[in-house]
Amino acid sequence: MKKRIYIQMTAIAAMASLATMLLVAFVCYELFCGQILEDLRTDAYLLKEAENREDILQSDLVASGGLLRVTWVDGQGEVIFENSADAAEMNNHSGRPEILQALEEGEGEAVRRSHTVQKSSFYYAVRLEDGSVIRVAREADSIWSIFAGILPAVFLILAILLVLCMVIARFLTKNLLAPIERIAQNVEHPLEEAYEELVPFVETIRKQHEDILKNAGMRQEFTANVSHELKTPLAAISGYSELIENGMAAGEDIVRFAGEIHRNSNRLLTLIDDVIRLSELDASEREEEFAMIDLREIADTCVNMLQVHAEKHGVELAFEGERCIVCSERRMMEELVYNLCDNAIRYNREGGRVRVETKTEKGCPVLCVEDTGIGIGKEHQERIFERFYRVDKSRSKSTGGTGLGLAIVKHIVAKNHAGLKLESEWGEGTRITVVFGGQSPCKGPDG
Ligand code: ADP
């Protein structure tokens, strides 16, 4: 960009210099021509003022010999006198424009440019009282021959100007681009030096830069968390298998250790499944799998499936609902209901209750999962949808949690353009409500 601006600036300056020189040359030449004609006019009137024919012929102007040509013609254009040639041999001059004009109007002028001789002839004619015409003429170099004469000087001046232009253009380009370079070096705090026109552009870049940094930070944190989460069960598996391998476990211990290995492997598998699912939801923008599905049917099936799990925790799990059609993907809806119900059971207490409901409110399909469990303190409510955020880490792990369930829920809700509401009271219970009805990607009632 720098090079381009520099070259363009130099080219513009060089062209401007050349054009100025040419224009000045033409204007000067026109002034020069005007001056010659003016001089000729003065000479012609001086001759006219002479009192008689002898005075004219003997005047200094006529005798000057060659520099000034004086021609005297009678009213019919016949040459009476010519100071630089033999009048008798000259043809009739009545056709010459300056003489014609002088005969008609009293005075006339003409310039005849000769391309071959590279000279121009200037004529001025005045009519005398007796009807004859005195014409004075001079030759001068044409503009081209004047120009050819000064060409070396022109080139020298042009070369000097070009060098000057290049130096100034380099300086200006550097000055022009310096603020932009400063912005590029310091994208985070660029506004103090930015051009006014660049402010929106810089603002966008700064925001993108911040987003990129934030995303990179989140990704790094996620990778570190995943590695950490994988490490614990793997260390347990490695430890128990080593004990068995070294023959340090016998009888019942082997069964117990095998059980631990099994439990930790399952934990690993669930964790990996959740990580894969999260990255799938992150990556895919596809909505072609979306179709009209009945949320009641999905919630009902899920609640039935989780009954045994709920009984194990001493929790009563119930579903009630009306037909509730949403435009979504079946697998996503199953995961949504499953994750919310699973949490409601796991973070509950003996004798607690979980109520799952599907309904339509103000025309929008709604899923509501309510429990009488341990609840979530206000200070944690904003953060529980973050990846790996847990209020009670040991409880989460002991009940098979990965810390990713609500992150997946948040993703699914966003993909369905739905709304998510969390109401919870520490020690009393939690209610999570998902309201559908944003922009629907389904075309018609049949999807
Ligand atoms: P986890 O696998 O640990 O359950 P989640 O992402 O599903 O991870 O939930 C994040 C955290 O939010 C949980 O560790 C738990 O502390 C809290 N939580 C989620 N659902 C409930 C609930 N229904 N009642 C109380 N706490 C909950």
346 or 81, greater pLDDT? 346
Positive or negative torsion for Cα 357, 362, 365, 367? negative
Query: Which ligand 1 atom is the nearest neighbour of the CA of 339?
Result: 7
Nearest-10 crossing angle of helices 330-346, 405-415 = 140
pLDDT of 275 above 80: yes
pLDDT of residue 408: 96
Grade residue 251 by pLDDT with cuts at 50, 70 and 90.
Answer: confident
Residue ranges lining ligand 1, Cβ < 6 Å = 343-344, 347, 371, 373-376, 384, 389-392, 396, 401-407, 430
pLDDT tier for residue 197 given thresholds of 50, 70 and 90: confident
Torsion 203-209-213-216 (CA) sign: positive
Indicate if the pLDDT at residue 445 is higher than 50: no
Six-digit token string for 399: 């009940």
Whole-number Å distance, alpha carbon 340 to ligand 1 midpoint, is 9
Q: Please give the distance, rounded to the nearest whole angstrom, from the Cα atom of residue 390 to the centre of ligand 1.
A: 6
Q: Which of 136, 11, 152, 133 is nearest to 77 (CA)?
A: 133
**Ligand 1 atom closest to the CA of 404, numbered from 1:** 6
Q: Write out 403-431 in H/E/C secondary structure.
A: CCHHHHHHHHHHHCCCEEEEEEECCCEEE
347 alpha carbon – ligand 1 mean position (Å): 7
Confidence at residue 446, expressed as pLDDT on a 0 to 100 scale = 45
More confident residue, 269 or 158: 269
**Could you tell me the two tokens for 218?**
């989140």
Instruction: State how far the Cα of 134 lies from the Cα of 251, in Å rounded to an integer.
Output: 146
Q: Which residue has its alpha carbon closest to ligand 1 atom 4?
A: 401
**pLDDT computed for residue 295 by the predictor:** 95
3-state SS assignment for residue 5: helix
**Is 50 exceeded by the pLDDT of residue 161?**
yes
Residue 80: pLDDT band by 50, 70, 90 thresholds? confident
Residue 316 has pLDDT above 90, yes or no: yes
The pLDDT score that the predictor gives to residue 340 is 98
Helical residues (DSSP H) of 83-191, grouped into ranges: 97-105, 143-185
Give the residue, by CA position, lying nearest to ligand 1 atom 16: 391
Each residue's pLDDT tens digit, 1-55: 778 888 888 899 889 988 988 898 889 888 988 999 999 999 888 888 876 767 7
- Cα 182 from chain centroid (whole Å): 18
**What's the DSSP call for residue 349?**
-
| Residue whose CA lies nearest to ligand 1 atom number 8 | 403
The whole-angstrom separation of Cα 346 and Cα 48 is 127
Assess whether pLDDT exceeds 80 at residue 142: no
For ligand 1, atom 3, name the residue with the nearest CA: 403
Q: What are phi and psi of 10, to 5 degrees?
A: -60, -45
Nearest to 416 by CA among 321, 296, 336: 336
Residue range 319-346: mean pLDDT, rounded: 95
Task: Write the CA distances from 382 to 4, 282, 366, 424, integer angstroms.
Answer: 53, 21, 21, 11
Closest CA to 275 of 398, 403, 390, 413: 403
Tell me the pLDDT band of 61, cut-offs 50, 70 and 90.
low
Task: Report the separation in Å between the CA atom of 62 and the middle of ligand 1, taken as the mean of its atom positions.
Answer: 121
- Determine the residue of 278, 339, 343, 420 to mutate for testing ligand 1's pocket, defined as the one with the most ligand atoms within 8 A of the Cβ atom: 343
What span, in angstroms and rounded, lies between the C-alpha atoms of 101 and 95? 10
What's the average model confidence in pLDDT over 54-77? 76
Distance 344 CA to ligand 1 centre (A): 8
* 0.85 surpassed by pTM: no
* C-alpha distances in Å from residue 415, one per residue of 139, 158, 285, 437: 92, 68, 8, 12
Q: What is the model's pLDDT at position 65? A: 58
pLDDT at 185: 79
**Ligand 1 atom nearest 387 alpha carbon:** 6
Residue nearest to atom 14 of ligand 1 (CA): 390
Q: Work out the pLDDT band at 421, boundaries 50, 70, 90.
A: very high
d(Cα 34, Cα 140) in Å, to the nearest integer? 12
Q: What is the DSSP letter of 138?
A: E
Interval between CA 223 and ligand 1 midpoint (Å) = 21
* 3-state secondary structure (DSSP) of residue 233: helix
- Distance of CA 418 from the midpoint of ligand 1 (Å): 20
pLDDT top residue among 196 and 281? 281
Q: Is the pLDDT of residue 193 over 70?
A: no
pLDDT the model gives residue 390: 95
Do residues 436 and 336 lie in contact, with contact meaning Cβ atoms separated by under 8 Å?
no
| 346 Cα: distance to centroid of ligand 1 (angstroms) | 8
* Closest to 380 in 3D by CA, of 413, 431, 426: 426
Best substitution site from 406, 413, 433 to test ligand 1's pocket, by max atoms within 8 Å of Cβ?
Answer: 406
Average pLDDT over residues 258-278: 95
> Residue 393 CA: which ligand 1 atom is closest?
14
Closest Cα to atom 21 of ligand 1: 343
| Residue among 267, 335, 347 to mutate when testing ligand 1 (max atoms within 8 A of CB) | 347
Quote the pLDDT of residue 441: 63
Atom of ligand 1 nearest to the CA of 373: 24
Mean pLDDT of the chain: 88
Tens digit of each residue's pLDDT (9 = 90 or more) over 203-234: 888 889 889 999 899 889 999 999 999 999 99
